[in-house]
């Protein structure tokens, strides 16, 4: 989710909580903690940007190898996979599922017995000083970027591992004359556009270089 979408959903949940618990205000400690955590998440993009760049580099090298054909490749059994499909990083991003639920249901509270006896009702809802579920949410948000970076780095490493045997053959054998060379622009367009890495980087506000012919700033 983009930051503006997260903040919009959060403000709706916050307003619903204040309605459910009239004694709460916008300055409630846990609201402040959640807001700081959200801001921290979207401000901390460096490590995840590095990880996604590693994915792009690994995929680019893999695709370059797949497109480079030499006369004696068949002799040495050199075959690279030219079909990477869509590189989907969605499973690695922090899931803002708590924003899609009723946040008020996560708030722990007690019921005033005095009020219950006097009014013959369920009594006044008094919000507890400690909120275990909200504390867990705050902790998850604050650690989300580190988790994302680790998982995406592992994914990036898979590109280097998949053809490691072929890489060694290429180092020690003469593959003969080159019969087909890679098209750099075609590979980049495939990774950024067809595989969806451009959209995913923009969606998550990452610091990823975009080639000028894809609409990026060539001086970046």
pLDDT at site 150: 96
> Is the pLDDT score of 219 beyond 50?
no
Please, which residues have CB within 8 angstroms of residue 32's CB and are 6 or more apart in sequence?
A: none
Helices 132-162 and 29-43 pack at an angle, to 10 degrees, of 10
Q: Which of the pair, 119 or 13, is modelled with greater confidence?
A: 13
pLDDT at site 116: 47
- The three-class DSSP label of residue 34 is helix
Q: Angle at the Cα of 176 (from 171 to 177), degrees rounded to 5?
A: 120
> Is the pLDDT score of 186 beyond 50?
yes
Calpha distance 126→113 (Å, rounded): 11
Residue showing tokens 């590979």:
187
CB half-sphere exposure, 107, CA atoms < 13 A: 25
Q: Is the dihedral of CA 207, 49, 84, 91 positive or negative?
A: negative
Residue showing tokens 């591992």:
161
Nearest alpha-carbon partner for 42 in 13, 4, 14, 91: 4
Summarised one tens digit per residue, pLDDT across range 123-151 is: 788 999 999 999 999 999 999 999 999 99
The token pair that represents 45 in the structure block: 């993009």
Percent of the chain with pLDDT over 90: 65
Please, which residues have CB within 8 angstroms of residue 129's CB and are 6 or more apart in sequence?
A: none
Summarised one tens digit per residue, pLDDT across range 66-120 is: 899 999 999 998 888 777 666 888 899 999 999 999 999 999 999 876 544 555 4
- At 29, is the pLDDT very low, low, confident or very high (cuts 50, 70, 90)? very high
């Amino acid at each position: 989710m983009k930051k503006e979408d997260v903040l919009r959903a959060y403000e709706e949940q916050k307003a619903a909580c204040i309605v459910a618990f009239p004694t709460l205000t916008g300055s409630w400690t846990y609201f402040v903690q959640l807001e700081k955590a959200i801001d921290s998440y979207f401000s901390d993009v460096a490590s995840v940007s590095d990880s996604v760049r590693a994915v792009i580099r690994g995929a680019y090298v893999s695709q370059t190898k797949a497109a480079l054909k030499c006369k004696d490749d068949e002799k040495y059994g050199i075959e690279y996979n030219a079909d990477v499909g869509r590189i989907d990083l969605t499973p690695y991003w922090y899931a803002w599922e708590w924003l899609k639920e009723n946040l008020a249901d996560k708030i722990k509270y007690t019921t005033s017995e005095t009020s219950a006896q006097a009014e013959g009702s369920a009594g006044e809802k008094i919000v507890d000083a400690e909120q275990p579920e909200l504390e867990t949410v705050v902790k998850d948000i604050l650690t989300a970027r580190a988790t994302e970076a680790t998982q995406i780095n592992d994914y990036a490493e898979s590109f280097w591992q998949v053809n490691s045997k072929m890489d060694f053959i290429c180092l020690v054998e003469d593959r003969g004359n080159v019969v087909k060379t890679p098209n750099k622009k075609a590979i980049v367009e495939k990774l950024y556009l067809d595989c969806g890495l451009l959209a995913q980087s923009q969606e998550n506000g990452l610091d990823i270089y975009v080639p000028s012919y894809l609409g990026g700033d060539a001086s970046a």
